[in-house]
Structure formats: C-alpha cells, structure tokens
A = this chain, B = another copy of it.
Amino acid sequence: MGQTREALIEATKHLLAEDGYGSTSPRDILARSGAGQGSLYHHFRGKSDLAAAALHEVSAEMRTAVDDRLDAAADPVVAVLDWLQAPRDALRGCRLGRLAAEPAIGEAVIAAPIAAYFHHVQGRLAARLGEAAAAGRLTDGMDPGEVAASLVAVVQGGYVLARATDDPAAMRRAQAGAAALLRACCRPVEGDNR
C-alpha cells in the first residue's frame, strides 16, 4: 500500500512549512514519518522529487482555499477585501512563497507547483476585480491584473516584513493599508462598510 509514501509526503509538507527546503533533510523527514532509510529512495528519486510531490499537494490545497474565499461573497469587491484581510500566520510565512527566496526555486520541479499557485490566485483575483470594473465600480483606467498582482504582493510582502521585524502586526498593517487603498478606489455597496 501507499501508506509509507503518504507518510513521507505528509511529513515533508509539515517540515517544508516549518523550516523551508534547504533546512529540511531526508533524515528529518524519515524521523518524522517513522519510515526507514531506504523507503524514501524506494518511493522517490530523491529529496527534490519528494518535495515536489508535497508541494503539489500544498499548492492544490491553497488554490482550493482561495477559490472558497473568493466565491463566498456575491459582491466582487467584498470578496476581494475578504481574501485580502483573511488572518494569516505571519511569523511562519507562506508555505509556498517562502520557498521563493531559496536556491531550490531554480529547480523546475520545485518551482512549478509554487508558480501554479501564484498564477491561480492572481487570475482569480483579476477575474473578480474585472467584474467590479465591468460594473463601473473601479476607478477608471485601473488594470484588474495589475491590481491583483499588487494585492498578492502585499500579502507575500507582509510575511516578509513580519518575519524580518519579528512582529506579526506588520502583516496586519500591510493588509489594512492595502484594504484602505482598494476601498478608496471602489464604489461601495450600500450598507457594507467592510
């Protein structure tokens, strides 16, 4: 059965989230998963192959989470603000974004699931911002794709600031500032002052 294989992937997901790629060793993974030495190299070609499998799952989970948030509200502006201001574990960092700073991002198998996530979020945000624009609720000349990119960047940058200053509030300030900027250029819906 694939029990050992799944245990390896599960352990890798946790360790990548905690420590990143470079600082997660096969030894750590084996210890945490309870698997023996040979198992890793029986099921996977090596560390990066296993990491790719783990990141593939994380990427899928996070895309689903984004879709759920962005589809929850009928009003596109409300949905986008909701996604932007969702609480985040700032000091731990983004499970995918934090790997962008590592040399391993140069390996295609590692980069692919991470890039897939970012393309997905930006596309979904741009779509909802496009709805708002089509309804004439966005300031003229505003590009939904560019605004989407800046909002995703705010969140990723919020993680960087929070970790760099060891202060989770840095993330919340970045979120609040971006939300204020966005609200200022969106015609609001009656009765919603989120």
Contact = CB atoms under 8 A, between A and B. Distances in A.
A163 B100 contact: yes
A184 B97 CA distance: 29
A100 B164 CA distance: 5
Nearest to A145: B173
Interface of A: 19-20, 22-23, 93, 96-103, 105, 111, 114-115, 118-119, 139, 141-143, 145-161, 163-166, 170, 173-178, 180-182, 184-185
B170 A149 contact: yes
B146 A97 contact: no
A150 B177 contact: yes
Given A143-B176, A149-B170, A156-B160, 19 more contacts: A20-B102, A101-B102, A101-B163, A105-B163, A105-B164, A105-B166, A143-B180, A149-B177, A150-B154, A150-B174, A153-B174, A154-B154, A154-B178, A155-B157, A156-B161, A157-B158, A157-B160, A181-B182, A184-B185
